[in-house]
Structure 1
Amino acid sequence: MQQEFKTSIDQALHNANLTGALGKFSEAYKVNRAKAYEGVDFEALRGRIAERKGYAAAHLKELAAQFQKNAEARGAKVFSTSDPAQVREYILQVARENGVQSIVKSKSMATEEIHLNSFLEKEGIEVNETDLGEWIIQLAGQTPSHMVMPAIHMTKEEVADLFSKEVEERLTSDIPRLVKVARQEMRPKFLRADMGISGGNIAVAETGSIVLVTNEGNARLVTSLPKIHIAVIGIEKLVEKFSDIAPILKALPRSATAQLLTSYVTIISGQTPNSDGSLKNLHIILMDNKRSEMAADPMFKEAMQCIRCASCLNVCPIFRLVGGHVFGKVYTGGIGTILTAWYDELKSSEEIQGLCIQCGACKDVCPGKIDIPGLIMEIRRRLVKEQGLPLLHKSIYSLVNNRRVFHGMLRAASLASKPFAKGTKFIRHLPMFLADLTDGRSLPAIAAKPFRDVFKTIRQPAGLPEKAVFYAGCLIDFAYPEMGEALVKILNKAGIEVVFPEGQTCCGAPARYSGAYEVAASNAVDNIKALLADQADYVISACPTCTVALDHEFITTFESLGERKWLPQARELAAKTIDFSTLVKKLVDEGRLTLKEGQQLGSITYHDSCHLKRTMHADQAPRQLLQKTGYELTEMFECDVCCGMGGSYSLKLPEISAPILQRKLTNIKNTGAPVVAMDCPGCVMQIRGGMDQDGAPVKVRHTVEILAEQIED
């Protein structure tokens, strides 16, 4: 990662105004969005949007032709091009032919994408943004930091300073006064403008109509007052039928700003009369700029379902910290990473794709049903394919793939880490260039005896009717063997013999999440051989990241690489794989496992690990089990927001991981609960290490440890 990029991250993290504004908005957004969607079947709604937008993406050429035919029948002039330069030249030509000196614009990401303003200004044409946020950043000489709220990163005091310079009057930060000043400044610009330029939220092939969705009313003035109107619309905005507008209009305001509806929905179907009775000179530019290439890509065609609501930004824990000027280019956040890789070039996303922590929050709220984290993973894969792995990564993965050497080094690390642990279970300080790794959290000391050694000493009852293969993962095996012991105890009580194959190794998640799919596939093969060697009823894991690897990612990795040989075995493994809490809940419900009940164990809070909740949708089972044992569950604020661990993310970007962790620690402590439970050893590592350095008297425990203490003998 280039130093310039790291510097931009550091500057954003130390900008209290930025993090404060984004933090407050994201908190309010989640609550308000939930209210806005009350009574709405969101899954059905986004399924409809995905289906209609997916259909349009598969029929772009014919829909563009149909749109052009119907729009021109209503008097519009339609120009289609894949070249951004041709878009700029077309607009300039129309301006010159009509003696245009002044242009007013409503908000348009498509014109931001092609840098239209600076181009026209160099040609001597006055260009005025009229959306309040766009006008603010135009005055500031900046680019949008958010696709819907372009100036969200700025405080009212900063805006007051900008307006003061513009009107040459010292203004206070009184918001109604600032809005009044903006209105007064804009009105003359609307009235003298020779041309209006807009974007478009939807383009309907059936009628040749364009749809604009706004809150300020400026778009109506832009499209009605000047005698010339040019709409610049990306072809991903095309839909087949007029009825396709309805689901998009239902989701867009709810997802974008948590409103039930926007203030203005403008549908323009052909030329409209000017004030002097003449018909408006209407030009519609359908811009491709690699969109048709994206639509033809078997994986990335899904991104064409985006309705540009920016909900993925609103829930992203990384965007909340660094903002759009770091996490994006023209388009920002998770979807912005994907669009940048296509509309610009793959290499342009090289730095920003690394910001994604793969928590999956964006996927949950996307009204276009886009797997944004999955597509970012594919970007990483293609970058590795195109550029190769960095030398350091190659060295690490070659080590991890040699199980015996890797495990030998972990055993050696147990001895080497003793001087730093100083008799505790934590490493609180590391020397020199490693110091960042213990900034804000302690690390777990490597266990003196890994679980694979401990397991050999565990005596299990003979003749148990069922068998489960236990996949421990690296952390339980080498840092938290006590979690493995607790799992064996619980399953034995339910009549299940536990098998621990010595050949199991890293699940491949670190390699896969870095784009090294070939390495991940090698890990998958090793684990398939080990885990399917015994004929067992279950393959169980107490790490959601590992469970997802076994249940989903081995299959998708092989499919991505076109590797068919191991797919049947990967599917066999997936069919047997189950996470710890789901299996225990099943055993309790069947009466095969009895928990102590009728106790009053006090208050407990629960942290949702990202994979358990968002990929496996198994967040209720652990809560129900904890409550059944006698704990009073006190939900924390943002219980399902990432803790900042993200696997190797906390090692690659500790400066971002640390503030996410601090927010999580605060939310845990605010519940007043003396214990916080979770189902992920990675989250335990992150949160327990944070609590150790914080000094708060809160116990951080894996659910497996808690339940093992509450089994009836």
Structure 2
Amino acid sequence: MADKQFKHKIDEALGNNVLRGALGRFGDAYTLARAKAYDGYDFNSIRENIAEVKSYAASHLDDMLDQFEKQASARGAKVYRATTGEDAKTYILELAKRLGVKRIVKSKSMASEEILLNKTLLAEGMDVQETDLGEWIVQLAGQHPSHMVLPAIHMTKEEVADTFTNHLNRLNEPEISELVKTARVELRKKFLEADMGISGANMAIAETGTLIMLTNEGNARLTSTLPPVHVYVVGIEKLVPKFEDATHILQALPRSATGQQITSYVSMVTGATPAYLPDGTVQDKEFHIILMDNGRRKMYSDEKFKKTFQCIRCASCLNVCPAFQLVGGHVYGHIYTGGIGTILTNFLNSEKDAKNPQNLCLQCGKCSEVCPGKLDIPQMILEIRNRMGEKDGLPFTQKFALDVVSNRRLFHSMLRIASVAQKPFTKGQPVIRHLPMFLSGLTEKKSLPAVAKVPFRDVFKTIKQDVKKRKGTIALYAGCLLDFVYPKIAEGVIIALNEKGFEVVFPEGQSCCGAPATYMGDRKNARKCAIMNIEALEAEKVDYVVSACPTCTHALIESYKELLQDDPALAARAEELSRKSRDFSKLLFDLGGLPPGGDGAPLKITYHDSCHLKRSMGVYAEPRKILTDTSGVELIEMKESDRCCGFAGSYSIKFPEMSGPILDRKLKNIEETGADVVVVDCPGCLMQISGGLDKQNPKIKVIHTAELLLEKRKKKQNKYKK
């Protein structure tokens, strides 16, 4: 759980309208620019090539290092392999002292930021000047970069003008062209006076000993050519086998980083070059390359994190992250920010520094969708979370809640009690709009659904199934929400599958899928839930297992296999369950869907894509086809239909201050469609969106696909035994 100081930093960021405006405008512009930049290119093919090239380099790391050093040394470079950040700093400091260096210019280098190089050099009395415009701005402001590619993205031109004014002691107007001109004038003399230049690199080509830099400013070339001494600080993950391999990264890096076809400058440095001194003399340049580990080998040797070497540091994961777009990079605490930054911080700095930032991840998966290195960033963050949970334990309240949830009889008994105890708060309505005292924050921005008077497991016993031309049997996995909050959805699932010729069974031993425990870092209780459901569902005895909650479906298909991999018998059963499990819309579509029909009454709908359904399972066209085959239904696509609604399980409880603005954006997009109804395939999303609309625009209703089919197609067949 996040600590109070971290929560305070979040509140400060959320209260900074300038910051949120800057991040919001960039996020919107980036999405369009990236799409345009990749127009005509096969992104999946490019990322496959990058993953292949980078994974090969990582798996042959020592060979790549040897080859690079041999080639670079033959061309006049002095190559040093730094095991730690301290080793790298000591090397640079001793070099500077030996050569009498007083003035240093730096072009952008996240590796040098990572080891706090500037602080070390400044402590020794050296003048260290950042020359990347964004880096220079944050240096003058006394900050560290908030973004790996765009260091000053969090600042407006007015803030930059004020920073320049305070530093230069003369008024600077907030005109971008004038601010750039000021920077050019101030920095040009620094290049001419510098004794040493320090740079980072985007790639290190083992075949030729070449270093490649992609930049949009001329400072990187000036830094690497004018000073008589030049030092590159390069993480060992930047190695690429051959020159031709670099083309794949050149295709992706500018497009993914800033939405450009190519950066203004692509600089390639192979070996030492002559240094032209201010007095007109020429001498051989001191050229040094530091290949830095600093925790990278440890990260690669961990099977769960080895793919981090496929990261090309484009920061596209930050650019599309709903959490980053709200609070920016400084909330993450250390140098690297966003999703990939949390992982890098965990290995390259400390687990302690990653403990709070990992909580910011909603597990929406948008970052993985755009990652050119094919990294499953949410899964890696989840692994960090689980390891922290195993090592440090969870806070008492979380652990108690998860212990209850994983105890089926106790959990279900408490839910039945809640259905009665909630009456003073529901006031006869199916929602709770106000809660008292310390619980009031839960209903400040949205309503909560009431627990159903009768759980589905009781309703199921009263349902008459009408199955003609029986084809088989399907086990219904209801999960917590269908069973105890939205039983009508489960009824819709049964009616639709009956029409396709399948009898539906409901194994009573089923309970929570374990996702809450998984996403809070409690692997023990998640495993307990997995075993309970595998034994209850008995996938071996049915044709399919269907769920109408994508989060639950993902658990059945993916999570159980991982949780039970150390037990051969249970792992085999988990594999069988995985093979037979389907989400409702996917299964209905695969079975041929329902024939066109319905009551014909006009209904304008829009559709919200569940994060798990679209990005984890690749299902998005199927529910739309099922819905539009229903007579009278008109589908109006909303903007950002696959953007997270902010529910993310316990996230909306742990971080209501983050969940709220994310939900507000979703509600705005819904309202702009003019639809009467929002259709979802996830009961969690239903709870989040319907709760928000109940507070802000109750005229718009929210309904699950299965329930809409039930209402539009099968009203006359909706009968219980009395």
Classify the TM-score, shorter chain.
Answer: over 0.9
Q: Paired residue for 2:129? A: 128
Name which of 422, 443, 459 aligns with 1:438. Answer: 443
Q: Paired residue for 1:274? A: 275
8 Å CA contact 1:328, 1:336 repeated in 2: no
After TM superposition, give the deviation of residue 390 of structure 1 in Å.
2.7
Q: For residues 149 and 217 of structure 1, what CA distance do their matches in structure 2 show?
A: 16
SS in 2 for 1:203: strand
Q: For residues 303 and 492 of structure 1, what CA distance do their matches in structure 2 show?
A: 46
Q: Paired residue for 1:75? A: 76
SS in 2 for 1:12: helix
8 Å CA contact 1:60, 1:292 repeated in 2: no
Name which of 379, 383, 396 aligns with 1:378. Answer: 383
Shift of the 308–367 alpha-carbon distance from structure 1 to 2, 3 Å rule, reads: same
Q: 2:538 matched to 1:536?
A: no
1:162-311 alignment runs, 5 A limit: 162-275=163-276, 276-311=281-316
The residue type equivalent to 2:342 in the other structure is T
SS in 2 for 1:513: helix
Name which of 693, 699, 706 aligns with 1:697. Answer: 699
Of 449-458 and 433-442, deviating more is: 433-442
In structure 1, runs of 5+ residues without a counterpart are none
Q: For residues 329 and 568 of structure 2, what CA distance do their matches in structure 1 show?
A: 40
Alpha-carbon displacement from aligned partner over 1:202-226 (angstroms, at most 9, x marks no partner):
1111111111110111100100111
8 Å CA contact 2:540, 2:576 repeated in 1: no
The residue type equivalent to 1:459 in the other structure is K
Aligned pair count reads 708
8 Å CA contact 2:599, 2:712 repeated in 1: no
Alpha-carbon displacement from aligned partner over 1:306-340 (angstroms, at most 9, x marks no partner):
10000000000000001101135110000000000
Q: For residues 330 and 239 of structure 2, what CA distance do their matches in structure 1 show?
A: 29
SS in 2 for 1:565: helix
Q: Paired residue for 1:335? A: 340
Q: Paired residue for 2:399? A: 394
The residue type equivalent to 1:361 in the other structure is K
The residue type equivalent to 1:518 in the other structure is K
SS in 2 for 1:61: helix
Q: For residues 682 and 527 of structure 2, what CA distance do their matches in structure 1 show?
A: 23
Q: For residues 426 and 698 of structure 2, what CA distance do their matches in structure 1 show?
A: 19
Q: For residues 170 and 633 of structure 2, what CA distance do their matches in structure 1 show?
A: 61
Q: 2:573 matched to 1:569?
A: yes
Q: Paired residue for 1:642? A: 644
Q: For residues 582 and 175 of structure 2, what CA distance do their matches in structure 1 show?
A: 56
After TM superposition, give the deviation of residue 565 of structure 1 in Å.
2.9
After TM superposition, give the deviation of residue 35 of structure 1 in Å.
1.2
Identity %: 56
Alpha-carbon displacement from aligned partner over 1:108-156 (angstroms, at most 9, x marks no partner):
0000001011111110100110101000000000011000001000111
Q: 2:470 matched to 1:469?
A: no
Q: 2:435 matched to 1:415?
A: no
The residue type equivalent to 2:290 in the other structure is I
1:53-72 alignment runs, 5 A limit: 53-72=54-73
Name which of 671, 677, 681 aligns with 1:679. Answer: 681
After TM superposition, give the deviation of residue 393 of structure 1 in Å.
2.6
Q: Paired residue for 1:363? A: 368
Of 20-29 and 139-148, deviating more is: 20-29
After TM superposition, give the deviation of residue 391 of structure 1 in Å.
2.4
8 Å CA contact 1:469, 1:534 repeated in 2: no
In structure 2, runs of 5+ residues without a counterpart are 718-722
Alpha-carbon displacement from aligned partner over 1:344-392 (angstroms, at most 9, x marks no partner):
1222211110110100000111111111001001101211222223322
Q: For residues 85 and 66 of structure 2, what CA distance do their matches in structure 1 show?
A: 19
Of 439-448 and 703-712, deviating more is: 703-712
8 Å CA contact 1:466, 1:536 repeated in 2: yes
Q: For residues 598 and 691 of structure 2, what CA distance do their matches in structure 1 show?
A: 31
Q: For residues 500 and 79 of structure 2, what CA distance do their matches in structure 1 show?
A: 70
Of 4-13 and 512-521, deviating more is: 512-521
After TM superposition, give the deviation of residue 470 of structure 1 in Å.
0.5
Shift of the 594–26 alpha-carbon distance from structure 1 to 2, 3 Å rule, reads: same
The residue type equivalent to 1:486 in the other structure is G
1:38-117 alignment runs, 5 A limit: 38-117=39-118
8 Å CA contact 1:594, 1:711 repeated in 2: no
8 Å CA contact 2:69, 2:79 repeated in 1: yes
Q: For residues 438 and 15 of structure 2, what CA distance do their matches in structure 1 show?
A: 21
Name which of 492, 497, 518 aligns with 2:524. Answer: 518
1:8-27 alignment runs, 5 A limit: 8-27=9-28
8 Å CA contact 2:467, 2:499 repeated in 1: no
Q: 2:596 matched to 1:581?
A: no
SS in 2 for 1:326: helix
Q: For residues 376 and 328 of structure 1, what CA distance do their matches in structure 2 show?
A: 16
Q: 2:555 matched to 1:549?
A: yes
Q: For residues 44 and 533 of structure 1, what CA distance do their matches in structure 2 show?
A: 36
After TM superposition, give the deviation of residue 597 of structure 1 in Å.
6.4
8 Å CA contact 2:105, 2:196 repeated in 1: yes
Alpha-carbon displacement from aligned partner over 1:536-561 (angstroms, at most 9, x marks no partner):
211101100001111111112223xx
Q: Paired residue for 1:652? A: 654
Alpha-carbon displacement from aligned partner over 1:12-52 (angstroms, at most 9, x marks no partner):
11110111111111111111111111111111111111111
Q: Paired residue for 2:720? A: none
Q: For residues 464 and 516 of structure 2, what CA distance do their matches in structure 1 show?
A: 33
Q: For residues 301 and 622 of structure 1, what CA distance do their matches in structure 2 show?
A: 36
Q: 2:489 matched to 1:494?
A: no
TM-score of the superposition, structure 1-length normalised?
0.97
8 Å CA contact 2:472, 2:503 repeated in 1: yes
8 Å CA contact 2:58, 2:309 repeated in 1: yes
Alpha-carbon displacement from aligned partner over 1:284-321 (angstroms, at most 9, x marks no partner):
00111011111111111111111000000000000000
After TM superposition, give the deviation of residue 462 of structure 1 in Å.
5.9
Q: 2:617 matched to 1:616?
A: yes
Alpha-carbon displacement from aligned partner over 1:222-265 (angstroms, at most 9, x marks no partner):
00111111000011111111111110111000000011111111
The residue type equivalent to 1:564 in the other structure is P
Shift of the 386–169 alpha-carbon distance from structure 1 to 2, 3 Å rule, reads: same
8 Å CA contact 1:328, 1:337 repeated in 2: no
Q: For residues 556 and 670 of structure 2, what CA distance do their matches in structure 1 show?
A: 30
The residue type equivalent to 2:660 in the other structure is A
Q: For residues 253 and 397 of structure 1, what CA distance do their matches in structure 2 show?
A: 44
After TM superposition, give the deviation of residue 166 of structure 1 in Å.
2.2
After TM superposition, give the deviation of residue 646 of structure 1 in Å.
0.2
RMSD (Å), alpha carbons? 1.4
